[in-house]
Each structure stands twice: as C-alpha cells, then as structure tokens.
Structure 1
Amino acid sequence: MRKLVVLVAVLLCVLVLAGEVNIWSWRSQDAEVWKQVEEELRKMGKDIKINFTAFVPTEYDAKIAVALQTGTGPDIVYSRRLPGGRTQTMIENGLYLPIDEYIDFSNFSQTILNSVTFQGKKYGVPFAVQVVGIFYNKEYFNKFKLKEPETWDELVEIAKTLKKNGITPFFIPGKEAWTLTMQHAMCGVSVLGPEWIKKLIDGETDFLDPKFTDLNRRLNDLKVYYQDGFLANSTTDMDAAFAFGQAAMVFYGIWGYQNWKNLNPDIEVGYFMVPPLTKDQKPYAYVYMDGAITLTSNVKNLKDSIEVLKFCATPKFGTIFANITYNIPAVSGAELPKVPILEEVVDVYLKHASPYVYWVGSVFVTQKPSLYDDVLSPGMQEMYAGRITPEELSKKAQEAISQWYEPLKKRLGK
C-alpha cells in the first residue's frame, strides 16, 4: 500500500511539472510579457504554465551560477550577450545548452546571431536590442527654451541653465557601478568616436592617449551637475526621480521608458545621442544586443521549454515584447507600438549605431581583468568620489587590459 501511495505521489508530481517551465531573469519589467506568451501558447493548443522570476540585476549572475552548478536552477534563463566572459564560462562549464537543432533562427540578422554564437553553436534566442543615450524631460526643455545639444559644450551649458533655475540637471544612480561604465561608454562613442575606438582595438593607440584621459576629465567635471549624494542612489531612485521631474536628464537606455511611463503616464520624454566635441563630428549611439533566452543544463521539462523557445524566435513574440516593454525586439518582422520616442530610437539604431565599442559586446570584456567589471565600474566610482584622478583611471585601464590583450601587449613591447 505504501509503495502505491509513493508511486501515485511521484506520478502526480510528474503531471504537475509536465506543463510547467521556469524562467529566471534580471528584468522584472518582463513579467507581463510571459503572461501573454502563456496565453498565446494556449491559443495554439499548448497548455504550458510559465513561472517567471526576476532577481535584482546586480545579484542575478551570481544566483544563476550557483543554482545551475547545484542543480537547483530553472529550465530557462536570460543570459548575457557574447562576447563576454560570464556567458562564455557558463557555456564552457556545460551550464548553457546549444539550441540549433530545435530553433528556426531565420527571423534574426547575422549581426544579432553573432551575439549568441560560440564556437559555431547558438546559445539562446536573442530578445532585445538596446540603445543608450541621454533621455530628458521635455517639459523642462520647453520651459527654458532649450534645444538638443550638438556639442559637449552645449550640453554643459544646458546643465548650467537648469541648475541656475533650481532644476537638477542629471540624476546619476552612482551606487550601481555598471551604470557609470555605461555612461562612460555611451560618451566614448561620440566624444572619442568609433575611429579612435577602432585604433584602440587594433593596438594603434592605448588608454594613456590624452583623448581617453580627457573624456575621463570631462565626466568628472560634469558631476557638479548631478544630484547631491549621487553615489548612494540606485536605478530605482533614478526612475522615480526622473519620472516625477526631480531631475531633467539621465544617462540611460530605452528600457527605462516603460518604468517612467508606468510611474508617471504624463511625463513626456525626449532622447538624444551624447553630443561630440565639435559640430563637424558625427554623434553615435551605443547599441547592443541585450541578451538571450537560454536553455539550461538544469532543464526538467525539455519538451515544453523548447516550445517556449520556438515561440520566442517568432515575430509574434517580438510584437508582444515591444508593446509591453517599449524595447526594440531582436527578432525581425515584429509590429512596434506607435510611440514617437521608440520610433526615434529605432531610427538611431538603424542609422547611427557605433560600429566599434568598448563596453558590452566588445573584445575588452572577454577576459580578466575586464574593462567593464574590473576597471570602469569600480574606477568610475572611485574617480567620482575623488579617490583617484582621471589620469589614474586611464592608468588602471592600461595596466589591466595590457595583461592579456595581445594588440596592446605588442604595442607596449610586452
């Protein structure tokens, strides 16, 4: 009798798990996406329960690494883009699985697919393309008759005007170091320019170039226009402050728009690329593939997980994703919402993306020490706190990357 009870319990457990897929992410704003995906799958005759869990972004990578290594992880995770040391390590340790045999990738460009490909195999379905830059409150720009700047000096003049009129020009979430690295990188593609970044990649220049130090100095000088105590503030603080008019501008990504409108439906948001130094220079936007929806080695429900991933590779998924998050879907053929700022950002993505970058999606984050995690993230906080100088930040970058990056090693005769 006892064996029968145990058998029934096991069978019931299997039945419960059979139609469930567990997904982990760092994007809490995607919860509604998965509710609609579940409904669409049901319409297709696939009764799959999707359990979506979002974690604090700064804790996410550590959580999934531990969970997958201990066998307690979910069927599917949001993974970071390639190239990138974190994702590459997960693949090499067998924690992320290739999905080429299951998924039709014909709705993705090769450029997008490069961000999920490792040694010829694809590890995940790309979900979004992100565009970063400066977002501003149109009410303040209209009130003080401000125009989108064409040069860095014009940007500084805008900040001066706002501060003089009692408005905080920039809200900076300095507690979260990654946002400071993003700020540096989005300024770099316009102020330094893609040609300079290409020279850096090729080993024709290095981080001690006065131009790189000049960018550090310009950012450090700009901090007088940030909110008081900005190194103690988070992105949650920033979202609320910007949405309710406590600051006029933020250095951020289009993914923030959804939160700002949810908090304050009346806010009117504008966008511009970080301006270059002179009007004869072209501004650029930092554009990157955000991440992928990835099958894990902990998958307990392979059949239904594959069905979910197949749907994620369709224009229908892209339409759902874009209309809820106001992000640009990675999949082609999706129908985007008629939102002016999203249409503008899509145009920037198509026409003004920098071809060379040094933050996410760059060669400088593929090994340790990483320019992202080990140099600019702590280094920007230290510089803003006054513990190191702009020159010292350049030296930290030089010393770290020259340990392993061959073109730089050759340049330095190492």
Structure 2
Amino acid sequence: MKLTRRILMGAAVGGYILSAGAAMAKTELTFWSWRQEDKAFYQDVIKKFEAKEPEISVKFETYAPENYQTILSTALAAGRGPDVIQVRAYGNLESIATPGYLLALDKQAVPELANFPDSALAAETLRADGKVYAVPFATQTMLVVYNKKIFKDAGVNPPQTWDELVALTQALKAKNITPFANGTATAWQNETIVAALLSSQLGKQFEDDIVSGKANFTDPRFVNALAKLKDISTNFAPNFTGVDYASSQQLFVAGRAAMFAGGSFEVANFKGQNPSLDLGVFASPVAKAGDERLIARYYDGGYAVNAKTDKKDAALKFVRFLATPDYGTAFTNTLKNLSPIKGIKIEDAITQDVAKLADNSMSYLMLVRFRYQEPSGSVLLQSNVQKLLAGQQTPEQAAAEINKGIATYYKPFQK
C-alpha cells in the first residue's frame, strides 16, 4: 500500500510539473529588421506586446541595411528566415512576395488594415495578384530641412517660389553662409535632392502624364527642372561633387550650412546628433506664386509574416499590434518618423509640420513607379543627375539617358 501510494503521489507530482511546464511554455517569434538605429524603440514595443500577450515572446534581430535584402532573400529561399519580417515596399517587396515567401494579409486576418489609407496599402501590394503582404510602417517625405537660427540671424525666411529660393541663397552667400549642406558623391542622395527641390516644379500632372505615356522624361517640364537644379547646385557644399552623404549630414549638424535637401527621416537623426538645433521644414518651391506646392512622398516598408512560419497565429497577433493607432503614435513620437496609421496623435511640432506637408504630395516618382525592373528608374536618375551636376552632361542629355533606360521595359514609352 505504501509503495502504491508513493507511485500514485509521484505520478500526480510529475503530471503537475508537466502541466505547469506546458502552461509556462511560450511561443517565441523571431523578428528581423534593417533598422539598427531603432533597436531600443522596438525592444520597448516588444515588452509592451509581451505584457499584453504573455504566451508570446519576440526576439528582435537587426542586420546592416546594405546587406539586409540579400540575407533575407537567401534565408527565405532556403525555407528559413524569421517569423515576422520588416520588409521594404514597391519593387523590393515584389522581389520576396512574388516567389511566395510572404503570407498574404486581408482584413479578416488583420482587421487593422482598415487603419491605413489605400495609398499606403498599395505600397505593400503585389501587382500580380492585388493582395497586401505587409502592414505599412512609415510615411517618408522629401523636402528641405532648415536651421531656424541661421535663417533668423541672416534675416531671411523660407522661400515660396523658385526665384525666392535663388534670392535666399544669394543672401546667405553674401554673409559667408553655405546655403545647402548637400553633396552628390553618394549616388542615392541625388534622387532625394531632385525630389526635395523639384517636386513643385514637376507637379502631379507631370506624374500622371508619365504614368499614362502622354509624356516621357524628355518632356520640357523635366528638362527645365533639371536645368534649375543644375543652377542651384552652385549653392551646395564646397566641392560638392566629392562630398558624400555622411559628410553632408555632419556639415548641417555642425551648423555650417543653412539647409539640407532630403527626407523627413533626417530630422530625428539631426536632432539626435545635435539636440540644440532648432529646425524647420518647407516644401519644394513653386515656379510662380499660385502654383500647387508639393512634396514627394513614399511609404517606407512594412511588417510581414513568413509564409512558412509554423507560428502563424502568434505572428499575426504581433503584426496586428504593429498596425494599431497606439503603436503608430508611439512610433511617430519616439522616432520622429511619421506613421501612416490613421488616428495617431503627433506631439512634436516639426513632425506635425511634416504631416501637414504630406497632405499635398506627388509620388517619390522613381521609387514608386520605376523601381520594379532593370535598369531601375532610381539608378538611372541617380547616376545621370550625378553626371549632370558634375558638368559631364547637359539637362537634355541626362533626361534622354534616363528615358532611354526606362523605355527598354516601359511600354508606354515605346509608342
């Protein structure tokens, strides 16, 4: 009887331990990103998610941005990779969605997709099947960031028209102030400069005409805009053709230049390096008073689920969490980077200004429209504008080369 009682008691204790262990077992998700600079933010977000969903844990891993797409594609092709993936948008999304590596999302599985404007969802949609494959995470705008103290000390104001911009640069140079910190040695920066300074010169109708094939990149509107860029580039950093992206940033952060033509994503970086900077933003100047003033906008990636994950339910819970207004508000106010989620509350004044400018926009044209095939419209623009500003091409030649490359695959240009 004693032996039987011991056996029964042992079995009961063993069963309790097993059941307790099962109860404490968590589903661990892996989450990959290229946003190394945002690691502290995501770790905090994960803590909040884990408090809400105690049966799930999330391991956050980051990779260098320049290697991320290759590392991710290699892992996914081998049937591995993370459960939740921070993916890029447009053409880069298609490169991993087309082979079937990502789980298609709909409003039944992720009701929070209703929190996003259609334009944001379009950035994470595969054109071949019209399905959404990621929850969008950021809105990026191309504009001009300026140092308010330098402007005030120089007695100048943000320009409305292109002529006012020219006069502004002349006034700054007369006081021995470098107007723009920008250099052109880093190729991709040339695309941001074009969008930041020329969007209002080009206009929404130009984009519509390009997309429909009514016009191409040899259009006088594009050529004339490039000519204006060539003229204004004399106000970039000294010896700007040899100045790379990091050096341009440092020139502005140090207060040695008044303006920086680039993305809204620069603001948090500038303030992080020099918290004393008092910054403002303005949209690209118009050709003449009364013209529509625009910024260039794109959606900077999203959160996707690996199609081969065996933790689909947990992964979807996490992705849904990343699609809520509460998350979007935290993302915007912590990172000073605008979330596309509807209903967010923006605390920071400059981010509020960026959001207002984003209401009147055209596409960040080459990324949104022409980064799906080779030669990429972005690469064509970057390299030819680099040559233009170095004096190696005329605006007409740069435009013709850009158009020639895109016409190899874009049927509306082949008429």
Q: Do they fold alike, i.e. is TM over 0.5? A: yes
* Unpaired runs of at least 5, structure 2: 1-22
Identity rate, percent: 28
- 1:396 alignment counterpart: 401
Q: How many Å separate the matches in 1 of 2:186 and 2:303? A: 24
Cα distance change of structure 1 residues 245 and 298 upon mapping to structure 2, 3 Å threshold: farther
The answer to whether the 8 A contact 1:18-1:301 is kept is no
Q: Which amino acid aligns with 2:399?
A: S
- 2:356 alignment counterpart: 347
Residues 263-308 of structure 1, C-alpha deviation per residue, up to 9 Å, x if partnerless?
A: 1111110111010211131211112222111223464644432222
- 1:44 alignment counterpart: 52
Show structure 1 runs of 4+ deviating over 6 A.
none
Q: Which protein has the larger Cα radius of gyration, Structure 1 or Structure 2?
A: 2
- 1:35 alignment counterpart: 43
2:155 matches 1:148: no
Q: Which amino acid aligns with 1:116?
A: E
- 2:100 alignment counterpart: 94
SS in 1 for 2:293: coil
Residues 148-193 of structure 1, C-alpha deviation per residue, up to 9 Å, x if partnerless?
A: 1111122122222222322221122534322211221333420121
- 1:385 alignment counterpart: 390
1:122 to 132, 146, 166: 132
Q: How many Å separate the matches in 1 of 2:354 and 2:399? A: 31
The answer to whether the 8 A contact 2:296-2:361 is kept is yes
- 1:7 alignment counterpart: none
Displacement of 1:358:
1.9
Answer with 272-281 or 240-249: which moved more: 240-249
Q: How many Å separate the matches in 2 of 1:20 and 1:385? A: 52
- 2:19 alignment counterpart: none
Displacement of 1:341:
1.2
Displacement of 1:385:
2.8
Displacement of 1:60:
3.1
2:175 matches 1:165: yes
Q: How many Å separate the matches in 2 of 1:18 and 1:307? A: 14
2:367 to 333, 357, 360: 360
Q: Which amino acid aligns with 2:215?
A: T
Cα distance change of structure 1 residues 60 and 251 upon mapping to structure 2, 3 Å threshold: farther
- 1:21 alignment counterpart: 29
1:237 to 210, 227, 247: 247
Displacement of 1:229:
4.2
Q: How many Å separate the matches in 1 of 2:64 and 2:249? A: 15
SS in 2 for 1:245: coil
Displacement of 1:49:
4.1
Q: How many Å separate the matches in 1 of 2:303 and 2:190? A: 26
- 1:108 alignment counterpart: 116
Q: How many Å separate the matches in 2 of 1:16 and 1:371? A: 52
SS in 2 for 1:270: strand
2:258 matches 1:248: yes
Cα distance change of structure 1 residues 229 and 51 upon mapping to structure 2, 3 Å threshold: farther
The answer to whether the 8 A contact 1:20-1:49 is kept is yes
Displacement of 1:34:
1.0
The answer to whether the 8 A contact 1:68-1:297 is kept is no
- 1:268 alignment counterpart: 278
The answer to whether the 8 A contact 2:196-2:263 is kept is no
Displacement of 1:19:
4.2
Q: How many Å separate the matches in 2 of 1:51 and 1:162? A: 50
Cα distance change of structure 1 residues 48 and 172 upon mapping to structure 2, 3 Å threshold: farther
Q: TM-score, normalised by structure 2?
A: 0.86
Q: Which amino acid aligns with 1:381?
A: Q
Q: Which amino acid aligns with 1:261?
A: K
SS in 1 for 2:361: coil
The answer to whether the 8 A contact 1:180-1:377 is kept is yes
